[in-house]
Structure 1
């Protein structure tokens, strides 16, 4: 080398430097001609992050992931978390279709970016210094796919957590199954759009923790310090709802991790060591656990008693309350009477209640908000929706107030709780003279009011004896529900235009509408030709007005005008479940990934458990089916249509009817044949619904080339032959927890067993659905297992049902 001419030596040195530079530049990227295997990694340009293969614990399984270069144990993203490699033969490459693909044994794809319309020669994959792995077009630089849109269990600076509403993209975190298994665990962390946006941790389909609603500045229940080397930037508008971290300097890093026990932990570290400092975690205490004290109570982490009832409320179960079991919460000491004097008690510095029954109007002033709440007897509290500058925006709560606790910082919203004047006086301290005056005035006013009521009642009976107006007005008085006038509903639905018609059932047509407040509604209008008359109308109003549960559709009010009878519900933007599982397009069906289907099954089951056990009245629905399950904007299921529901006494188990009503394919055998119905009848319907959600097929219209069984018989036959996975809807995604799906099939078959006493009750159903460890009993033969002969069956059905019943036993979904 020393004997070479100077020019030649210089040229060789330049070539070596250029070659090394090329290697250094290429080390963060892949293209069609370059792949990486188990002994290779990508390192971002500034050396911040590394992508490669890793193992956990003593397991031989390996995964493709991204981690901090200075700390290989701080893994921030995993590609094939549910599809581990069993050896070291994995290869990450760009295939001919332009997708970044992880291959096992060099052939079988276990993970892919799944983008469309790309070509291998025109794309490259690059690990950026932000920790984001991107697949982009080489010439234009357009990003086709990025790991930031598909988080695992961790969030780092620059990543958005939340929604891109333009493409319905929900970026959320999912915990590991355990510390050595990156597979998806039972906890999910993300932003819930229901009501005002909130940050939520779910355990399965149940809320484990929530932050409090977005108040124009931050999420109400999360305190943010300003002395940190990063800032939290929330964005809430019509196109996106998310938050992200931005670093103030490049020497530090921040990472939020969702742990296997449901904690979100935020760590701060520097870029030169493996040391990480825990800055923040939620939930921090037992009051952070969702609804720890039950409804209408405030949770105090310090003090003589953890849970305290709000003013005007008392423990639902004093015995349980005395021994420290608070989950039952509190109930009103007495029903608020709108004819009595009422006011509001301001509770400062608390997390706003969750949105269970609510109304939001961001354009209303606080004074208007108070007046609106005071006019509505069902309104239990109101608050300012915006904490930035001049108070504006209105939050109204109806029914129970859930998950309230004091906050140490950012106590800039006040919850105004509706209370009777007597409750305010009793709380303000002993003043016997004032109390006596109030009592005397109240008694005098009550006597006057009672006299007036008796007089006007007598006069109305005299004036309207036998008249129609009197009966309508009495009907209005008997309905414990807000009344809408005809003008309001006509304007909201644009004169019941066909463009606003969204469906039609046995009751009549259903219209979408929008009130002047901006709230969207669904109006169910009793048709003149409907076989469901005033009895069903009254039944639905009287029953559902008393029901309060997140998985039951909320009835906002009713309208009675001359011959018109209408029910006004909260609007469900995603329509009914049957439109997704039966009549949906391929795109619609793809939205029903298994996690969402499972969440729907759990939600329906929780709603049914509430009806059977936890509501004030024990209610048998009698018409549970896919078309009577509505889906809100987050695909949360809500049971609807209580026109055929019946109440049971606490000790009542079964009853019999001469008028069998329901929908063919969902009715239990004992109900169809003998008119006997009970809670087990609803459970039969639930079992049918579970099997339909799993299979994507309708029970009553199911056909198979090899036999004439309905869906229940087909599922039972597959179960006996050990071929239950064949029941799964082929349009579902490729990877899902098979054991969970099979458990749902087994629970569905247990619910549709022929004998009612063999079917589980709802508490057992939920326990079986949610537990992976417990062993389930083997199902027995389902009801209606015999093979069908369609021509004969059709003629039998035509002669079996009276016209009044046929409207309720039609195979068509209402």
Structure 2
């Protein structure tokens, strides 16, 4: 018979082996009670195994801390209890104290940290770690303390940064002292709700970074928020308590205010088991608050990055010349403020607006302009469709030139400063390269009846010389519009010249439509219009030159060497870029624009294979709250047209989504339905390591080409699906073309591509595998 003492020891060892294989607390619980505590290295886990509450040691130290971290990664600490009082050994215990608080005690029974909540002094309290990462302390059913209202350096989904303008109470994050020391650091971050809510980072109390105002959808001073990657954030006014919240979702995300003062947003990649950085701020020196001082503007693409606003000069020329711009700029000519004609405004597009914005109750730009002009203290104004009229009466500070996104800023100047500069009023604060071209001249008398607005104008002679008299060897493509030529200006700049044919069926209406639409928008995924030429019978548009031509050639022309260059990563990047361009047209530009003719031949590729949506001759601008429109004149390419547009003349942003889906697809519904998605992928890119991504893209594209517009996702949602911010995808319905259409519908109402290859024999309706 086994000795009883030995049997007891054996059973105890077995219990320890089963319950503590890696020295962890063996209990299926997410709660600490007065009778259930944890001692280092024990932990408790949220109900769905998302977060742990336990002990950890930062890198390059032996100190121990109580923290909350994602289960998938013990280095992903989002909250620290005893950040300024580390444990020097592994004797820490977390328990409910006699007064009902959650406390951390050391081996000498000293209290290292406590929730310090007000309770009735009973032990009828419990601490629970939730799947959101929030640690809550309840007395009976009432929450008396939670970690989300006492954050350290991290923001996670559903956590709130807040400011109560009535009570003055704030919830802010604060950086670690260093990567190995979670003690209180030099940077804090939070919401400033004065006038218009903004997110700020402070360095020892002084502004260090600013997000720009919240407009109800995005923080307009963060360039990346104009894409869907930072979508879903919210600012809410709850009876004077303003709070900023990160979006919930089926993904693991955290935003850290690190010890260097940077926001770093990361998403968990479950396949690679790593945290991927998706956003950082500040990104450049221009993002640092007030780098260029008052009335200075920062452009990270310029050298030096700081310049004075038009009509201003450095306050201290010597310091400015040495690269010390903090002193800012002063006016060259003082404002007159004597009647409506004494002063005027210089319009700067795509700007991060200055700090200290005030509100005037107007939403129409002209009303805002007139009010500002009549108010001597008003130095500048800007209008956002959601915010309304913003104006500034203090020195303008923390201004930045953005790249293709952002509102217009109207700077008040004396009229004498605006004379001879009318043509420059729509150019960015940092001079465009075009301004150095000798070809930018005043409109000819022949074009006085043509409303080209404020586009830079080229002479016919300049363009003829640039293209070697429009020689065939410089022809890039031919379409229904006319011809496109490659040209080189006298200053060395390479351009593309789109020349309207005298016999063009598209004619003056589409020429003017494209000129007006593309001149009003600018985005890195839209082709950039550099100017125009209107002389007698000649009508031309001048664009930036795209060395890799159009997407249809890369995809469909067997003689094009770029087919072998376009691996899956490049193709996926192109899809995302087109989506970002569409999102800008639909939602983020100051105008809502429906393209109506999105197809591969209208997507151009720059030298780095970045896509640029082109050909806006068919585009339509929507006004106000308009969601869709009807036309009796259906134009575009049938294979890429949404059914409701081709058959009924109804178009909306969802008709562009349909075209985007067809552009993504070169597949057939039958193969998808047979669960054989890879059979229709280009075999040059169909390697096993990208198989899941390719099939996912096919799935998303099928969602875009569903019959009814209401069933198609918005472009914003499509991009969130592509980036896996939305993980779970709904099943698509059978596309209408797979059932009802046949090849008799193939063709285009407008002829061939303007920038490359003919689309008549490339446009498809029944989408078979290639």
TM-score between the two structures when normalised by the length of structure 1: 0.46
Larger RCO: Structure 1 or Structure 2 (Cα < 8 Å, ≥ 6 residues apart)? 2
